[in-house]
Structure 1
Amino acid sequence: MTPYRPTTADGRAALDRIQSEPGRALLAFDFDGTLAPIVPDPRDSRAHPGVVPALRALADRVRAVAVVTGRPAAVAVEYGGLDAVPGLTVLGQYGRERWEDGRLAVPDPPPGVARVRAALPGVLKRLGAPDGTWIEDKNHALAVHTRRTADPDGALDLLGAPLADLAERAGLAVEPGRMVIELRPPGMDKGVALTGLAGALGAETVLFAGDDLGDLAAFDAVERLRADGVPGLKLCSGSAEVVELAARADLVVDGPAGVVAFLEDLARTLGV
Structure 2
Amino acid sequence: MDERDSLIAALSDPDRRTGIVMDFDGVLSPIIDDPSASALLPGAAVTLERLAARLDLVALLSGRPVAFLAERIPLPGVVLLGSYGLERHHDGSTVTGPGVQEWLPRVATARDLLTEALGAVPGIHIEAKSVAVAVHWRNALDREAAALLVDDAVARAAERTGLAPEPGKLVQELRPPLPVNKGTALRQLIAEQRLDLVAYAGDDRGDLPAFAAAREAGGASLVVHGHETAPEVAAVPGVHFENPGEFVVWLDELSRTPDPAL
- TM-score, scaled to structure 2: 0.88
Q: Is the 8 A contact 2:20 2:59 kept in 1?
A: yes
Give the Cα separation in 1 of the matches to 2:62 and 2:74.
15
Q: Which runs of 5+ in 2 are unaligned?
A: none
Taking the TM superposition and a 5 Å limit, the aligned residue runs for 1:8-27 are 16-21=9-14, 24-27=17-20
Q: Which runs of 5+ in 1 are unaligned?
A: 6-11, 226-230
Count the aligned residue pairs: 254
Q: Percent identity?
A: 39
Give the Cα separation in 1 of the matches to 2:54 and 2:16.
6
Q: Is the 8 A contact 2:106 2:163 kept in 1?
A: yes
Q: Residue deviations 1:88-126, cap 9 Å, x none?
A: 11101111111145333245261321221221222226x
Give the Cα separation in 1 of the matches to 2:195 and 2:233.
23
**Equivalent in 50, 55, 74 of residue 67 of structure 2:** 74
Give the Cα separation in 1 of the matches to 2:70 and 2:124.
26
Match of 2:145 in 1: 154
RMSD: 2.2
Q: Residue deviations 1:165-206, cap 9 Å, x none?
A: 321331111111111010111222111111111111111111
Query: Shift of residue 3 of structure 1?
Result: 7.7
Q: Is the 8 A contact 2:111 2:126 kept in 1?
A: no
Is 1:239 matched up with 2:226? Answer: yes
Deviates more, 1:161-170 or 1:130-139: 161-170
Is 1:192 matched up with 2:180? Answer: no
Query: Shift of residue 268 of structure 1?
Result: 2.9
Q: Residue deviations 1:1-58, cap 9 Å, x none?
A: 57825xxxxxx5x654313247611210001111111110111111111211111111
Taking the TM superposition and a 5 Å limit, the aligned residue runs for 1:1-272 are 4-5=4-5, 16-21=9-14, 24-78=17-71, 80=72, 82-84=73-75, 86-106=76-96, 108=101, 110=103, 111-124=105-118, 130-187=121-178, 188-225=180-217, 231-243=218-230, 244-271=232-259
Q: Is the 8 A contact 2:88 2:94 kept in 1?
A: yes
Q: Residue deviations 1:213-268, cap 9 Å, x none?
A: 1111211212332xxxxx21100111121143221041111322112111111123
Give the Cα separation in 1 of the matches to 2:24 and 2:190.
18
2:21 aligns to what SS in structure 1? strand
- TM-score, scaled to structure 1: 0.85
Q: Is the 8 A contact 1:15 1:233 kept in 2?
A: no
